[in-house]
Structure 1
Amino acid sequence: MHDYLMAEDSELWDIILDGPFVPTRTNTETEKLEVKPTKEYTETDRKAIEKGLKVKKILICGIEPDEYNCVSSHETAKEIWEAFLTAHEGTSQVKQSKIDMLTTEYELFRMKDDESIQDTNTRFTSIINELHSLGEIISIVPHLLTVFCLREQIRNLVLYLFFSGLLVFISVTIM
């Protein structure tokens, strides 16, 4: 979503982060800022408000009815975005629990006896991608050495990597 909004207009993402633009004026009697009445909006004020509405429209038009029901009560794009984050990532405690669960799944990951290399790779990549989406970066190379530790599996892995173009030459000594 970030990239899409930045491509549309770089100010749109700022509206999600900072909240909507609210036109204000200084009250001449109290010297305090107050919200401008609509009839005093300038062209610049109107354009800034329109950008906020554009972001809200982009967020709302890209979701399904069930998600819409969860965010329809929110007034601003920032509130909608925060509701999306909570719904999809959860609170910081939920996020940490997901990271812990996926890290354990990663650490215990092994190739199943009846599983192809491609299926193993798909499962493994899914775990890594989920961790990455939660902000957890893991080095996969050391772990791959333990995942594919059986001789037959090593042979299958080498063949898979060779035929997929990921491996040009390898010298392996099996003890």
Structure 2
Amino acid sequence: MAAPLNLEERQSSNRPPHLNGHFYSLWNVRMHYYFMAKDSELWDIVLDGPFVPTMEEKDGEKTILFPKSTQKYDEADRKKIEKGFKAKTLLVCGIGPYEYNRVSACESAKEVLDCLKTAHEGTEQVKQSKIDMLTSRYENFKMKEGETIHDMFTKLSSIKNEL
């Protein structure tokens, strides 16, 4: 039996999981594990967005934050910026050419993941429609005549996992 479209034998602890347009949820979980194994700060960068070095300036009683110019970056700023690029690189290395076309204009790892999430899971309205449809399938689920228990369980598990 051939492996499903995205589950071919190619997983390695040295390479990020591969997304070729199918099984986004599985890929997302695997990417989370991959990032956490590499460096847990990388996953925080993916979720929270890139680090932007800032400076403070006093304006009377108020303190104003504004972005630093690149000439004023210190070593710590540069290291944090590098981590942002590393996170984006790992995400981009885990997608195929079709997926890359969707995210090529994204500037941060957070933007890449958000773009992929919207493309594969849809907007909140689309997600709610999917949930309603799957809930209906679950509520109306019955074993068909001639169906084995294994087949029935597989279909039920599929509905549950999609929910």
> What TM-score, normalized by structure 1, do the two folds share?
0.68
State how 1:1-175 maps to structure 2 within 5 Å. Answer: 1-26=31-56, 32-131=64-163
Q: CA RMSD in A?
A: 1.9
Aligned residue for 1:114, secondary structure, equals coil
Where 1:26 maps in the other structure, the secondary structure is strand
Say which structure is richer in helix.
1
What are the ranges of 5 or more consecutive residues in structure 1 without an aligned counterpart? 132-175
Aligned length: 131
Amino acid at match of 2:105: S
Deviations 1:129-157 (A, max 9, x none): 111xxxxxxxxxxxxxxxxxxxxxxxxxx
Partners of 2:127 and 2:64 in 1: CA distance? 41
Q: Deviation of residue 10 (structure 1)?
A: 1.5
Highest CA radius of gyration, 1 or 2? Answer: 1
Deviation of 1:40 (Å): 2.2
Question: Which whole-Å CA distance do the structure 2 matches of 1:85 and 1:94 have between them?
Answer: 12
Which protein, 1 or 2, shows the higher relative CO under an 8 Å CA cutoff with sep ≥ 6?
2
Deviation at 1:27, TM superposition (A): 5.2
Residues 27-68 of structure 1: CA deviation (Å, up to 9, x unaligned): 589974332222322111111001101110111111111111
Unaligned runs of 5+ in 2: 1-30
Q: Percent identity?
A: 60
